[in-house]
Amino acid sequence: MDALLVLEDGRTFPCRSFTGHGEAWGEVVFNTSMTGYQEVLTDPSYRGQMVAMTYPLIGNYGTNPEDVESDRVQVSAFLVREYHDMPSNFRATSTLSDYLKKEGVLGVEALDTRALTRHIRDAGAMRGVISTRDLDASSLVQKAKSKPSMVGRDLVKEVTTEKPYFWINGKRVFADSHVDFFQKKIWKHKGKKPSVVAFDYGIKYNILRCLEHSGCEVIVVPASTDAKAIQSMHPDGIFLSNGPGDPEPLTYTITTIQSLIGYCPIFGICLGNQLLGLALGGRTFKLKFGHRGANQPVKNLETGRVEITSQNHGFAVDIESMKEKDIALTHINLNDNTFEGFRHRTYPVFAVQYHPEASPGPHDARYLFDDFKKMMAAA
């Protein structure tokens, strides 16, 4: 059925729905990955966004229960050039259309994703509305302008876990309500495995898989957990996860991180990198159209090695704001020379802006999980 995507600047894109009637809004962004659309759909960092895939054919391998990065679809809507309704993959248990319908998420095809991508690259990511019910462009422009901006919104509260849980054998394990997580004896393998508390700002499952695979025992806690509660657990290390939106409104988390710097080793990625930058006195800013895809080149300044990385973020740390801090810049983006990683010169703290766990994407940066384990052992 006919649908219309309208951006807040008035640009319109006719299309058609492959999931039935619906209307959705969000910041319109694009992803350059050739595969991994189910991982993209379920990545909490996409909360509040409508995602367009630049690769033209989507849906050809279907969906399955394993290739998810959270407990639900996170995107506001899914925008593709050509949808394929007959998947050919032995792992597929459902079509993409049925998967999105079950999750109540609008999917559209026959959209000129190349024109949309070029427009976003020129004008920047912006709010948009897509609808099958209202095809009046002027009406949809007004709706788009009335929606809240990505800047200044706390989206972490929408995606973080409500209560702590263990990550065991690739699955979340919630304890009975009477179990007190915030105590030293909560760890089942203390002294045998490094104990890691992972802050859930919108954490991807594959991060937890990588931490577990590197030999760590992992407990995931809500984003609002304070420093005193973390210290009562006596972890060997702290992990700051990815997540959606603007880092600056997350003052409660920034204060917690400031209290934990120097307490034990800290490893941050994506939003975790930005929050560490703010905690150390730096600044963040909104990128024009963000970095989203599994083919982003990053240079490791300490080794000279170039890594092809998976990324998904619309904000970044301002390099200039970190120059007077006690940090060493370790990674830089080769497309636009933006801040991609650092380590602290005094404390056992390091972070990267990209996703070393990938999913989807290359595994060039998986070594960072082993570096974190070595840092905990040294501490």
Residues labelled catalytic: 270, 355, 357
Do residues 125 and 28 touch, judged by C-beta distance below 8 A? yes
Distance CA 367, CA 372 (A): 9
- Contacts for 86 with CB less than 8 Å, ≥ 6 apart: 95
200 three-class SS? strand
The C-alpha angle with vertex 241 and arms to 238 and 247, in degrees rounded to 5, equals 115
Helical ranges in 232-320 per DSSP H: 251-260, 271-279
Q: How would you classify the pairing of strands 237-240 and 266-269?
A: parallel
Residue 81: phi, psi to the nearest 5? Answer: -80, -55
- Contacts for 378 with CB less than 8 Å, ≥ 6 apart: 348
Read out DSSP for 343-369? EESSSSEEEESSBTT-SSS--TTTHHH
Do residues 254 and 285 touch, judged by C-beta distance below 8 A? no
Q: How is residue 287 written in tokens?
A: 């990128």
Do residues 52 and 81 touch, judged by C-beta distance below 8 A? no
Q: Rg of the chain's alpha carbons, rounded to an integer?
A: 21
